[in-house]
Structure 1
Amino acid sequence: MKRLFCLLFLIIGSSCSSDRTNRNPYLQEINFRFDANLNLPSYSPLTNTGSVVFIPNESVGTRGVFVINTGFNQFRAFEASCPNHAPNNCSTMSLDGQVATCSCEDYEYSLFTGQMLNRPEDDNRYYDMLEYNTTFSGNSVIISN
C-alpha cells in the first residue's frame, strides 16, 4: 500500500509542469473590479455588436481599458496601455474603430482578438494586448482581474 501511494505521488508530481505562463514584463497585473452599466450613456454603445468603449477610469487596469461587444452578449476587455513597453507619456493607446494604436511606435492591435496587427519582422519578442475577465450580468459588463 505504501509503495502504491509513493508511485501515485511520483506520477502526479512528475506530470505537473514547472513552466509558468510567460507574462508581459511591461504591465503589472493589478486586481480590480469595475461594473459598466449599459443603461448609462457612457457605456450604452456597448449594446451594439462591434462597438468599443474606452474606460479611462484610474481604478480600471493600468491606463484604463477598451471594452468591445463581440456579439451574443459576449464582451472582451483589454488594457489600454501599450503592451510592448513600460507605461509612459505616450503609452496610452488611442481608439480608431475596432483598432487600438500606440502612439509611441504606431503599433496597432485588434480589439476583437487583442493581437498585434503590424508585428515587426525582427527577432524581438512582441506582446499582444493584456486581456481582462468580463462577465455580462443583468445589464452590466463586469470587468475584473
Structure 2
Amino acid sequence: MKKIVSIFSLCLLFLSCSDNGFNNNNPYIPNYNFSITFDLNLPAYSNLKYVSNAIYYSGPEVGPKGIYVFNTGTGYTAFDGACPNQALSSCSTLTLKGINVVCPCDEEEYSLFTGQGKLQYPLKQYRVDVNQNILRVYN
C-alpha cells in the first residue's frame, strides 16, 4: 500500500509542474536568458506606475532589439522589442504608438495588452514578477 501511495504522490508531483501555458518560441527571435529589474521609484521607470503606459529598455543584457514593459491596469506585460514576423534587420525594432507597438518593416501593429497582431506570430512575451515597486522581467 505504501508503494502505491508513493507512486501516486510522484505522479501528482510531475503532473503539477506547469509553465502555465507560457510559450514564447519564435523562429525570428532567438531565446536570450536574462533577468532585469526596474525600480518604479526611479524617474526613468515611474511612468509604469500608471495604467496604459509603457517603457522601452534597450540594454545589452536583453537582446539586440530591447524590450517593452507595459502597465495593463491589472498587471504588467513585457515583450521583445523585435518585430515578431521579420528576421532581425535594421528595420525590425518596434516603435511605440500609444498602447501598441509598430513594426517599421511591414507597418503591422501589435497590442501591448495582449501581444497580438494580425500576422502569424504575436509579440515574443517575457515573464514579469512584481514585488511592491520592483518589477523583474526575465526569460
Question: TM-score band (shorter)?
Answer: 0.7 to 0.9
Structure 1 unaligned spans of 5+ = 1-20, 121-125
| CA shift for structure 1 position 90 | 0.4
Q: How many residues end up aligned between the 2 structures?
A: 120
Stretches of 4+ aligned residues off by more than 3 angstroms? none
Partner of 1:18: none
Whichever of the two has the greater Rg, that structure is 1
**Distance in structure 2 (CA, Å) of the matches to 1:54 and 1:86:** 20
Amino acid at match of 2:138: S
CA distance change for structure 1 residues 30 and 53 in 2, over 3 Å: closer, same or farther?
Answer: same
**Distance in structure 2 (CA, Å) of the matches to 1:22 and 1:140:** 23
Matched, 1:78 2:79: yes
What SS is found at the alignment partner of 1:71?
coil
What SS is found at the alignment partner of 2:77?
strand
- Residues 41-89 of structure 1: per-residue CA shift (max 9 Å, x gap): 11000000111111122212441111111124x1100001001011110
Amino acid at match of 2:87: A
Partner of 2:102: 101
| CA shift for structure 1 position 22 | 8.6
**2:49 aligned residue (47, 50, 55):** 47
Partner of 1:24: 26
CA distance change for structure 1 residues 108 and 140 in 2, over 3 Å: closer, same or farther?
Answer: same
Contact 1:62 1:79 in 2 (8 A): no
Contact 2:47 2:54 in 1 (8 A): yes
**Distance in structure 2 (CA, Å) of the matches to 1:80 and 1:93:** 5
Q: TM-score, normalised by structure 2?
A: 0.79
Report the identity percentage.
38
